[in-house]
Each structure stands twice: as C-alpha cells, then as structure tokens.
Amino acid sequence: MKFDVKEKPDLKKRKFSPPQILVLGFALIIAIGTFLLMLPISIKQDGRLSWIDALFTATSATCVTGLTVKDTGTFFTPFGQVVILALVQVGGLGFMTMATLFSLVLKRRISLKDRLLLQQAMNQNTMEGIVRLIRKVMVYSVVIEGTAALALTLRWAVEMPFSQAVYYGVFHAISLFNNAGFDLLGNFQSLTRHVSDPIVNLISMVLIISGGIGFIVISDLVDYRKHRGLSLHSKVVLSMSGALIAIGAIVIFIFEFTNPYTLEPLNWAGKIWSSFFQSITPRSGGVATLDIASMRHATQFFIIILMFIGAAPGSTGGGIKVTTFAILIGAMFSMIRGRDDIVMFRYRIVQERIVKALTITLLTLFLLIFIAMVLSTTESADFLSILFETTSAFSTVGLSMGLTTKLTVFGKIVICITMFIGRLGPLTLAYALGPKKGRELYRHPEGQMIIG
C-alpha cells in the first residue's frame, strides 16, 4: 500500500518543459519526414535513397536549411518534393504555430501551456498577445508567399508550361520565404542561371529578407501608422540588417570584381545584382546566383561571418541573430567610450540581455569549432570548406562549397545534429537537456579581476 501511494505523485510530476516539447516535436516531424521520403512513391524509378540520406534531407527541410545530398528537382518525384515542401513550411513557421492554427480553425481554446510553448517557439519575452501574433504570422505568410508565387509563375510561364510554372512558383516562394534554400532547377545549380535576371533576383531577395527579419518586425511595419513608430527590436533589426546587406554587397563586389569565375564575365547590372544577392542569402537564404566554390577564399570566409550572424529572432532564419550581434557591437563601443550602459535608439539595454548575447555567441563559437575539428578528421576536404559547411548547417543557411554530397555517413550524422541544434538554438537545447533552474539562496561576494 505504501509503495502504491508513493508511485502516483512521481508519475504526475513527469511533465515536459516547453524546451523539451519543442525538441521532441521537431524530432518527431523529422522522423515522419524520413519515413515518407523513403517510400517508393517519393523517389524516381532510377533512384535509390538510403536511410541516412532520407534523414539528412528531412532534417535539412524541417530545420529550413537547404543542404542537400540528392538533387531535389531531379531525384525526387512530385510527391517527394511536396513532402519536402511541407516539412519546410512546418519547420519554418514552427510546429506549434501550425498546431495553434488548427486549434483556432476548430475554435479550440488555447491553454496556458500552449501559450508557454508558443512563447518559447517564437522566442518572445512575454505571453502577452502571443495568439494574436500567431494569427498575424499565418496571414503574413499566406499573403507574402501567395504574392511571390504569382509573380514567379508569371515570370517562368514564358519559358515553361503554365502548370509547371505554377508549381515552380509556389515551391520556390515557400522555400525562399522560409529561408530553406531548396530549389527545383536541377543539378545543384540553385539560381545560377538567373544570375542577371532582375525579376527573379528581386523577388528572391525580398522573400529572403521578409523571412529573415521576423514576423514581429513585419507586424510593426504593417502597423506603423497605427502605432506611429517602431519598437526598439524592429529598429535594431532593420538598421543592422540594412548595414550588413550594404557592407556585404560592397565587400563581395570588391573581392570578386576581377574573379573570372564569378563577377568578371557579368555586365554592371549583373555584378550589382549578384553582389547584393550573395550578401543577402548568407542571412539564411540558402540559394545563390554565383558558384560559391569558385569564389576567392577571402569572400568565402566573409560569407562564413555573415552566416554566423544570421537573421533576426522570431524569423525563419538561424545564426546568433542580428540583435545579438548588435548588442556585442554596442558593448564594444560602450567600453571604448568609457560608458557603463549600452544605449540603442535612446534605450538602455538591460544586463540580462547582454549576458544572454555573450552566452549565445560563445556557445555557438565553441560548438562550431568543436564540430569543424571533428569533421576535419573524418572528411576529405580542406578546413575552409568544412568550416563553411558547419557554419551553414548551424545557421540553417544551406550554402555549400560542394562538400555536402561528399560527406561520409558519420559526417552526415554530425551535420544533421548541427542543423537540429541550429534550428532550435543552443540555449533551447541546453534548457531542454539541463536541470531546471532553481532560485539562488545566496550571492557570493564581489571579486576583482584584471582583464585586457
């Protein structure tokens, strides 16, 4: 009797935290995607897909990365491509967002636990207005993806059957807006054949930027007249994103201007389009109009830096996030100027945010260095290619210097884990695996230490 009484409370206490539910949810989606991609209906008759390649593709799609070991356009059937697209949409918006959508359609009440999960999934500081934000996310996604799909359909209808143009338009609109990087143009060429096409370039860049700045910023821009201004978050994201795009385009233009394999053969319009496109896509876009492997080492390393920084919080992109980078830059300038506080747009950044930014950056650096060192011992490639692949996987970018298809089974597993961690975020995974934080009962005395 005593044994039975003790068992019941223990069973009731076994509850999953929001980070743990997110980890398990994404893992379940990847498992389902792997199973569907291994079905004969997903693969063309002359193709063969191993379990590791199916797992890699499903992970890449769910984590909206875009690294591929099999060419999406030529290896998979329309059914397999739709499976990949569904994984991209669910992975990009988040499975909790999709679950909430169905709950709203069925007029089911959103519980407190669901709101906590949504807060964690959308990387929000508060639950206030979270369901309203989810409604906006769905509306913005449908409007942006639908408009882009129509524009791409009209563009491609001049060179392919209309039904195929519609299919291509919808697929690439969803893939680009979710910063996934999957394409159907064949032979791992990405968008290189549209290098000087202003329509495809412009639509693709707008989609990547829209998905990369995050739904909070989009909502702020839509409601700009209503609120007569932007939030601090939106101001930082837009200013930092604009600066990175402009600086990136200038650096790539200078480094690649005389490269006979990239910018040199193009006219001035093509050079400008390409410079801006290659500056925007490392933010998590995953498609390219130039051959990344043919770029100079300096450009490739610079793209690694852009991938490391990534997109904005609450977006479909990865990386340490532009707000984190902005806080680090702000801390540097504040220290140089001898000021105690980091001030942005007349707002002081609280200490907690600064510590979190440093933690995320250091965790990411340590993780990337460790993974790159491991892969350098198992893969037959130069270190720059390995570092590029590792950063691309963690930041869910999808750009590659050609290493993806040459990875060993162990290398593919490591990259899968890297993509998974990158999509969830190192802190979310740490919270999911680590013990629950308890209240500190005391504080240690303050100490002094020499730095610098």
pLDDT of amino acid 401 = 92
The answer to whether residue 207 scores a pLDDT higher than 60 is yes
**Are 93 and 137 within 8 A, CB to CB?**
yes
Where would I find the beta strands (DSSP E) of 238-384? 343-344, 347-348
For 306-321, give one letter per residue: b (16+ CB within 10 A) or e.
Answer: bbbbbbbbbbbbbbbb
pLDDT of amino acid 414 = 95
The whole-number average pLDDT for the span 34-39 is 94
Identify the weakest region by mean pLDDT among 170-174, 201-205, 277-281, 348-352: 348-352
Distance CA 43, CA 53 (A): 12
> Nearest 10 degrees: CA dihedral of 404, 285, 283, 420?
-50
pLDDT of amino acid 3 = 47
The answer to whether residue 13 scores a pLDDT higher than 50 is no
Distance CA 306, CA 329 (A): 15
Identify the weakest region by mean pLDDT among 92-101, 308-317, 419-428: 92-101
Distance CA 331, CA 369 (A): 24
Maximum alpha-carbon separation in the chain: 85
| Both tokens assigned to 398 | 């999808």
| Both tokens assigned to 209 | 């930027």
Question: How far does CA 292 lie from the centroid of its chain?
Answer: 19
Judged by DSSP in three states, 347 sits in strand
The whole-number average pLDDT for the span 275-280 is 94
pLDDT of amino acid 429 = 60
Q: Tell me the C-alpha to C-alpha distance, in Å, between residue 43 and each of 81, 187, 200.
A: 9, 16, 28
pLDDT of amino acid 31 = 94
Residue pLDDT, tens place only, 354-394: 888 898 899 999 999 999 999 999 998 999 999 999 999 99
Is the alpha carbon torsion for 29, 31, 33, 39 positive or negative? Answer: negative
Residue pLDDT, tens place only, 290-346: 999 999 999 999 999 999 999 888 777 788 999 999 999 998 988 888 888 888 888
The whole-number average pLDDT for the span 123-130 is 55
The answer to whether residue 438 scores a pLDDT higher than 90 is no
Q: Residue 82: pLDDT band by 50, 70, 90 thresholds?
A: very high
The whole-number average pLDDT for the span 209-218 is 86
Provide CB contacts within 8 A for 87, sequence distance 6+.
29, 33, 58, 61, 62
Provide CB contacts within 8 A for 310, sequence distance 6+.
283, 284, 317, 318, 319, 320, 321, 322, 395, 397
Q: Is 2 exposed, middle or buried (0-12, 13-18, 19+ CB in 10 A)?
A: exposed
Facing residues of 124 across strands?
none
Q: Residue 214: pLDDT band by 50, 70, 90 thresholds?
A: confident
First-to-last alpha carbon distance for the chain, in angstroms, is 64
pLDDT of amino acid 111 = 54
Residue pLDDT, tens place only, 266-276: 999 999 999 99
Radius of gyration of the chain (CA): 23
The answer to whether residue 114 scores a pLDDT higher than 60 is no
Judged by DSSP in three states, 315 sits in coil
DSSP string, 167-213: HHHHHHHHHHHTT----SSSTT-TTGGGTT-HHHHHHHHHHHHHHHH
**Are 385 and 401 within 8 A, CB to CB?**
yes
Per cent of the chain over pLDDT 70 is 82
The answer to whether residue 10 scores a pLDDT higher than 60 is no
